[in-house]
Each structure stands twice: as C-alpha cells, then as structure tokens.
Amino acid sequence: MKKFLLLLPLALLLAAPAARAQLVHSEKSLYREVLVYEENGERCMCFTRQCRIGRQSCIFLSDPHRFALNYTRMMLGGMLFTGPAPQRVLIVGLGGGSIPKALREILPQAQIDVAEIDPAVTRVARRFFGFKEDPKMKVIELDGRVYVKRAIRSGVKYDAILLDAFDHEYIPEHLLTREFLAEVKSLLTPQGVVVGNTFSSSKLYDHESTTYADVFGTFFNLKAANRVIVARPAGLPDEASLRARAQEYEKVLSTFGVDAQSVLPMFTTRPDWDVKARVLTDQYSPANLLNH
C-alpha cells in the first residue's frame, strides 16, 4: 500500500477530510473499488470513498517525479543503503508504481518483477500514475504469496524483496506470517535484503516485530508515521557502510525530492515492542481482530 505526503504522517492514513477532492476515476474489481482523487495539486489512488481509510499512492501533478509519500524514501533507503546495487528486485504490491518507476531510473540494468493481485490497480497505475512496463520491468498479476511460492519452485533468487501489499484496511493476513516471511527469505541471494512497509501505530506492531525477528533475527526499524522493516539474513551493515551507501545514492535520490542523509538517523535496531508478543503464523494470524 502506500501513503501520505513526504513529511506528513503516513500511517495516519485516516486521510484528511477530502470534501474538496474531485473523483476523476472509479472502477470495481474482484477485490475492491479502485478510486482516483485529485485535490490541492495531488492525484491519489484510494480503495475507499474520499480516501477515508488511506491513500494507496499519490503523485504531485506539477512534478510527478518527486515522491509525494513519506514511506517511499524509507523503503528505498532501506534497500539501497544496506548492500550492493541489486540486480534483481521483487516488489509485492504495485499501487501507483512510484517505487518501481524510481528503481527503473536508479537501477537501469536491474530486472524488476512486481506481483500485484488486482488487474484494476495495474490499469489505474498505467493510466493515471505514469507507470510503464519495459522488457526488464514486468507486472505479474498474482497474489503475492502465490507468486513467491512459484518463484521458489522455479529456483529464482532476488537481491532485494520489497513487501508493500495492502488492502483497504491493512496488510493481508497471509502476508504477515512466519511461514510467508520464511518463504520470502528463501528467495534471497546470500547478500539479499527484505524491506517491509507497515504502520508504526498498528495494533499488530508487537506481533509483526516478533515475527520478523523470529525469521530474520535483528533488523533495522525505520519509523515515521509508517514503519519500515529492513532485514538482511547475512547480517546488517554498520553505520559507516550505511553512510557510504547513502553518499553513493545521494545525488540520484535528490532528483526525487529525497535527502538521503535525512534517512540515516532512522536506522535503528533498538526493540521498542513487546518481545514476548506472539509470533504470527498461518494458524494464528487474526489480523482483522488484532488491528482494530
């Protein structure tokens, strides 16, 4: 899913009143209603009327290249600062396509695969948000977990996997469990990294944290209104390595309105959750209850 203005709360996706927002597109799919609103120079994809629960993706109409949502800088920082430039990337959840579009510019030689369950989201991303596929960037219209299982069977490996799939309320529960994260982990190359977008205010916060820790061990925890988890099974880089990577990508990220140095203070491994919270599993993942 996706989010809010670059310096504004994102998990407060309880969007500001949108009385002035203009509905420019609406279509129903098997999964949801996909809506596009415009207001105050922004165009946003939402899954609820007047974006009352959240904004999936936004762009500035005057400068679509610049990131409009805060979580994107954390996700890209988490991926780019923690290891060598990835050559193959998997993104679970397309939204408006801001992250794959940015990665195409930043990593022009990379193979980028996007798993998106809803063809309506793909259509809207193409028509209203400037998303374009190319020979090395493709959308696979499948549930993210189904795609991961098929990728395991095919033997494919990824240098980076970004988990950014949301429905109209939160992350689908089958994409939160220990079993799913273990499957994701098995797709990584030896130096591969997983970056997961979640909410810092979610009632699932403790459970998500213990689940990631159970699968990956110590991870980076980046927080604004959203929370981004960065895990690397081979071990996390030290501060000097993070700073060197940030400097490497500083110039290109600035073209998206991102100050790479401002992301660095967000990297922390200090637990701020109940370490005894129950791990989410395929047998125990009552996200619809815990997150209300």
Query: Which residue numbers are catalytic?
Result: 164
Helices (H), the chain: 70-80, 98-106, 119-128, 144-154, 178-186, 205-216, 239-254, 260-263, 287-290
Distance (Å, whole) CA 169 – CA 153 = 31
Phi/psi for 185 (5° steps) reads -55, -40
Closest CA to 51 of 93, 23, 9: 23
- In eight-state DSSP terms, residue 134 is B
Q: Among positive and negative, which fits the CA dihedral 139, 140, 142, 148? A: negative
Closest CA to 215 of 201, 229, 200: 229
Joined tokens for residue 150 = 């098929």
- In eight-state DSSP terms, residue 67 is B
Distance (Å, whole) CA 236 – CA 28 = 42
Distance (Å, whole) CA 190 – CA 233 = 8
Amino acid at 279: V
Amino acid at 204: L
Amino acid at 200: S
Joined tokens for residue 15 = 């969007």
